[in-house]
Structure 1
Amino acid sequence: MHLEPRLWAFTKGLRGRIAYAVAIGLVAVGLGVARLALLGWLIAQVFAGAALADLVLSVVIVAVVMVLRGWFEQWRAMVAHETAARVQKRLRRALFEKLCDLGPAYAGVQRSGDVTLTMIDGVEQLETYFGKYLPQLLVSLLTPLLIFVFVAFLDLPVAAVLLTFALIALFAPAAWQKRDWRNAKDRQGAYGDFAAELLDSIQGLATLKAFGRSRERAAVLAEKADYLFRTTMWVLGTNTLSRGITDTAIAVGAAAALALGAYRVEAGAMDLAALLMILMMGVEIFRPMRDLRTVLHEGMVGLSAAQGLYRLFDATPPVADAPPRAVATLAPGIAFEGVTFA
């Protein structure tokens, strides 16, 4: 879980759209929880012996909530991705202006593969950061409070248990964030080196064949590719560990809430309908944290790709332009001085 200040600066003027997407996401979370709570309430009515005619309205309400939830989720995704596209457009414009300021002297000493990877792939990978990771991070930060408020109406002790494990699922993976970040950065460096070597090899293919150095160059590419593979596996390994922490907190939290609810029903402190609603909600109530876990890896890859953008933005021109000189005001006119004819 990480918010990059330098990337956040590019969202200036679009933060209202990000807040809009987060608000839609919170409504979708509320509808998802309401759907499961209504299903639990419907089952409680069946256990109470309600007639089939009395259940029709409840079934219709559940169906409407399910449709609304899907519509809000699609709406949030469209708003978030459109916002990401606008930020990417702003990034590309800033990169172009920076390259123009750096001039041809800078591009001449850089490897074309590395610059191409930064300009194209680096910006494309940030689509996930702005379109998925950033909105989902903000939704996940606000969801535990929403869970507590909703479940507190059913039972306060159970709500406290769910809030505790929701916070654990949200913040516990941060213990591995530094290692995940380091592995993602190493992987991005290996990716840039491999891309640069591959593009240089393709551009110099005729020269390699002419001098009989194709096998040696292939061995270099194989070594770079193997290192890229190993760094990618390390990124996936640390990310899987973070996912395991989140999944464990979600599963234990749902089981603990259900066990506490069953105990309170047995003690007469909570009715069966509330327990059935908690049972139906289960791990689904932690869905935003699970969704954040899904996009966390892509978000970290996007952040590591941003390091290449930072290097470009922080570069200084190898040859500084001369300061503009003031030009005296000249009156328009044509004069012939010292003109002779043979």
Structure 2
Amino acid sequence: MLRSIQVQMLRDVRLRIAQCIVWGLVVQALYVLQGLGLAWAMAVVLRQAPLAQALPGLLLALAAIAVRAVCVWAAELAADALGQRFKARLRADILAQMVRLGPAGMPGQRNGALQLAAVAGVETLESYYSRYLPALGVALLGVAAVLALLAWVDPVTAGVLALFALAQPLIELLWMRRQMPVASGVFAAMAAFAAALLDALQGLVTLKAFGASARWRDDLAQHASHLRTASMDALRATLARTGLSTLVGLGGIATVLALNTARLAAGDLAAPALLLSLLLAREVFRPLDRLEKAFHAVWMAAGAWEPIAQLMAAAPAVADPPCPAPGCPTPGCPVPMPAGHAIAFEKVSFRYPGAEAWALKDFSLQIAEGEFVALVGASGAGKSSVAALLLRFFDPEHGSVRLGGCDLRELSLAQLRSRMAWVPQDSSLLAGSVARNLRLGQPGAGLQALQQATLAAGVAEDIQRMPQGYDSPVGEGGSRLSGGQRQRLALARALLRDAAVLVLDEPSAHLDAAAQAHAMQTLAQLRGHCSILMVAHRLETVRDADRIVVLAQGGVVEEGSHSELAQRPGSAYASLMAAQRLETQRLKGGPR
């Protein structure tokens, strides 16, 4: 998987890499012309000829310097364009994969580690593609060209320099292979620190409220210490490699200087050839120096690729079905949608990835079109799992979930979710305006439609009091709104979608009594217009449901209307009501 991703990204930016290599070779050629011009001028001085004869060489050197400045600027622009293209493409692929993984995500991976892979990891790889690969191309072609020119001037010098030119990258490759685990350790420590830091930021209020800030700070300090140790190990290895590489380069130039000085004294080498070999010797190692400076990108990329490859290789919990058309390789092609939207769970057994206990076991449930069904039960009974399977965040291990008689696995995810609206227990809002968040499920909705939906959800007056009305920013994650406002806004967003199936997971969470009553009245008015599946903890919110289904240990215990279940002797529903009534009385009376 890793190799295929690398090849795919290389194909996508290969033309831009070639462009950067061309600019690098042009800059290298201008350095050579500068050296030729200076060698000409110095030869004139050594011959004690008129200084006017040195003028063409000086002009050539000055012209090369001037043109090179422009070419270096163009090369930087090309490298920057390459880097931006690479980052945009890779991040688009990562985001698409995260969307494919859905709410199930990657079991065992924390959000901070995934965020690090998508941000810092991509930035690290950008240097590899925009700096190292062009430098490698320039080094291979540029060094070969300069050595060929030197071989024409003096084969002995070219041979000596070729040995040192080959030794320098060889030493770096051997060093990198030996120190590769150090780079991986840096990214592992960075991922652990990022995950712990993100947890601390997201739970800052909770940490403060429980006085746990100091303990969490100590944990963060420990992660930071591990990161510092790994980074210093990497820095030591990098500095040692840089010093060794520089020693080889300077040693090559020093060897040529000593050798050619002796040859000049013995009469085996002409003075102009000595000057030219010395000036061009530097140009042999200039591309290698640039390659050495970019070499850390290879080293760090080795650690950055692994978490990205793991993310891209992760299999989603659900996937689009294959296209029904013969010979079509594209999954998720449109298939005929079922005419109705009756819901059926048929002997469904399901457990979450990595879990051993069943969340649902042989669970069966029928919901007619337009019926309002409420699921109740103790925590862990499987209520939210039913909603997750209906929304197809997961697929059951056994049994099937059907919509209009069609197995959900036979429908594309886009088709399925176009018929559904969802109100989660903890509503998620995006940074932006109120209107932008409302239009997530109905992008073309006009202002009048927004007003009707928010009025039905009981949040219209709150929006009208905001400084910019529907254009008011909600803040990151809805931070500028109260919990109740966020929940009602989520309900309005679902109502605006006008879907055939409405799924609600604890919709009354964060609502006060008046807002809860308004929301339940709105849902009662939707009876017959759409099928409603509501997961509820507050039993007073399910009184108007057509049918109440009581769950326990992943199965149906009993079902019926509120009046039927409440009057049934020894019913589980009556026991839940009694327990909740006692809890309410205890809270009103204060702790005992």
Structure 2 length normalisation: TM-score? 0.52
Comparing 67-76 with 101-110, greater Cα deviation is found at 101-110
Residues 217-263 of structure 1 show CA distances to partners (whole Å, capped at 9, x for unaligned) of 11111110011001011111111222122111111110111122112
Q: How far apart in 2 are the matches of 1:56 and 1:324?
A: 74
Equivalence map 1:142-153=2 (5 Å): 142-153=141-152
Comparing 57-66 with 32-41, greater Cα deviation is found at 32-41
Does residue 172 (structure 1) correspond to residue 171 (structure 2)? The answer is yes
Report if the CA contact (8 A) 2:106-2:311 is conserved: no
Partner AA of 1:272 in structure 2: A
Report if the CA contact (8 A) 1:84-1:131 is conserved: yes
Match of 2:253 in 1: 254
Report the CA distance between 1:320 and its aligned residue: 5.0
Comparing 286-295 with 137-146, greater Cα deviation is found at 137-146
Task: For residue 131 of structure 2, give the secondary structure of its aligned residue in structure 1.
Answer: helix
Q: How far apart in 1 are the matches of 2:18 and 2:4?
A: 17
Q: How far apart in 2 are the matches of 1:171 and 1:328?
A: 61
Equivalence map 1:17-36=2 (5 Å): 17-36=16-35
Residues 10-49 of structure 1 show CA distances to partners (whole Å, capped at 9, x for unaligned) of 1324312212221221221122123123212211111111
For the structure 1 residues 329 and 280, does the alpha-carbon distance in structure 2 shift closer, same or farther, using more than 3 Å as the test? closer
Partner AA of 1:233 in structure 2: M
Report if the CA contact (8 A) 1:40-1:278 is conserved: no
Match of 2:95 in 1: 96
Report if the CA contact (8 A) 1:22-1:139 is conserved: yes
Report if the CA contact (8 A) 2:112-2:194 is conserved: yes
Match of 2:40 in 1: 41
Residues 152-209 of structure 1 show CA distances to partners (whole Å, capped at 9, x for unaligned) of 1221101100111011112111111123321111100100100110110111112112
Report the CA distance between 1:133 and its aligned residue: 1.1
Q: How far apart in 2 are the matches of 1:145 and 1:39?
A: 22
Q: How far apart in 2 are the matches of 1:63 and 1:37?
A: 11
Does residue 298 (structure 1) correspond to residue 307 (structure 2)? The answer is no
Match of 1:68 in 2: 67
Match of 1:221 in 2: 220
More strand by share: 2
Match of 2:329 in 1: none
Q: How far apart in 1 are the matches of 2:323 and 2:33?
A: 66
For the structure 1 residues 231 and 192, does the alpha-carbon distance in structure 2 shift closer, same or farther, using more than 3 Å as the test? same
Comparing 111-120 with 166-175, greater Cα deviation is found at 111-120
Does residue 201 (structure 1) correspond to residue 200 (structure 2)? The answer is yes
Comparing 107-116 with 320-329, greater Cα deviation is found at 320-329
Report if the CA contact (8 A) 1:40-1:279 is conserved: no
For the structure 1 residues 109 and 235, does the alpha-carbon distance in structure 2 shift closer, same or farther, using more than 3 Å as the test? closer
Match of 2:115 in 1: 116
Report the CA distance between 1:329 and its aligned residue: 9.7
Q: How far apart in 2 are the matches of 1:27 and 1:320?
A: 49
Equivalence map 1:304-315=2 (5 Å): 304-315=303-314
Task: For residue 131 of structure 1, give the secondary structure of its aligned residue in structure 2.
Answer: helix
Report if the CA contact (8 A) 1:77-1:131 is conserved: no
Q: How far apart in 1 are the matches of 2:142 and 2:275?
A: 22
Match of 2:373 in 1: none
Equivalences, count: 328
Comparing 165-174 with 16-25, greater Cα deviation is found at 16-25
Partner AA of 1:285 in structure 2: V
Task: For residue 33 of structure 2, give the secondary structure of its aligned residue in structure 1.
Answer: helix
Cα RMSD over matched residues? 2.4
Structure 1 length normalisation: TM-score? 0.88
Report if the CA contact (8 A) 2:100-2:319 is conserved: no
Q: How far apart in 1 are the matches of 2:145 and 2:314?
A: 45
Comparing 24-33 with 252-261, greater Cα deviation is found at 24-33
Match of 1:335 in 2: none
Report if the CA contact (8 A) 2:33-2:60 is conserved: no
Task: For residue 31 of structure 1, give the secondary structure of its aligned residue in structure 2.
Answer: helix
Match of 1:16 in 2: 15
Q: How far apart in 2 are the matches of 1:328 and 1:188?
A: 46
Aligned partner (choices 318, 327, 335) of residue 336 of structure 2: 327
Task: For residue 11 of structure 1, give the secondary structure of its aligned residue in structure 2.
Answer: helix
Partner AA of 2:207 in structure 1: L
Q: How far apart in 2 are the matches of 1:28 and 1:117?
A: 36
Does residue 157 (structure 1) correspond to residue 156 (structure 2)? The answer is yes
For the structure 1 residues 195 and 157, does the alpha-carbon distance in structure 2 shift closer, same or farther, using more than 3 Å as the test? same
Task: For residue 14 of structure 1, give the secondary structure of its aligned residue in structure 2.
Answer: helix
Q: How far apart in 1 are the matches of 2:32 and 2:5?
A: 35
Report the CA distance between 1:144 and its aligned residue: 2.9
For the structure 1 residues 323 and 145, does the alpha-carbon distance in structure 2 shift closer, same or farther, using more than 3 Å as the test? closer
> Which structure has the greater CA radius of gyration?
2
Report the CA distance between 1:130 and its aligned residue: 1.5
Quick one: higher RCO (CA 8 Å, sep 6+), 1 or 2?
A: 1
Report if the CA contact (8 A) 1:265-1:275 is conserved: yes
Partner AA of 1:198 in structure 2: L
Report if the CA contact (8 A) 2:165-2:284 is conserved: no
Q: How far apart in 2 are the matches of 1:324 and 1:153?
A: 64
Q: How far apart in 2 are the matches of 1:42 and 1:223?
A: 62
Report the CA distance between 1:78 and its aligned residue: 1.5
Residues 33-70 of structure 1 show CA distances to partners (whole Å, capped at 9, x for unaligned) of 23123212211111111223222222111100112222
Report the CA distance between 1:266 and its aligned residue: 2.0
Q: How far apart in 2 are the matches of 1:324 and 1:109?
A: 32
For the structure 1 residues 179 and 46, does the alpha-carbon distance in structure 2 shift closer, same or farther, using more than 3 Å as the test? same
Does residue 289 (structure 1) correspond to residue 279 (structure 2)? The answer is no
Q: How far apart in 1 are the matches of 2:298 and 2:258?
A: 35
For the structure 1 residues 41 and 136, does the alpha-carbon distance in structure 2 shift closer, same or farther, using more than 3 Å as the test? same
Report if the CA contact (8 A) 2:41-2:55 is conserved: no
For the structure 1 residues 109 and 318, does the alpha-carbon distance in structure 2 shift closer, same or farther, using more than 3 Å as the test? farther
Q: How far apart in 2 are the matches of 1:20 and 1:146?
A: 18
For the structure 1 residues 174 and 13, does the alpha-carbon distance in structure 2 shift closer, same or farther, using more than 3 Å as the test? closer
Report if the CA contact (8 A) 1:147-1:162 is conserved: no
Q: How far apart in 2 are the matches of 1:327 and 1:320?
A: 18
For the structure 1 residues 5 and 159, does the alpha-carbon distance in structure 2 shift closer, same or farther, using more than 3 Å as the test? farther
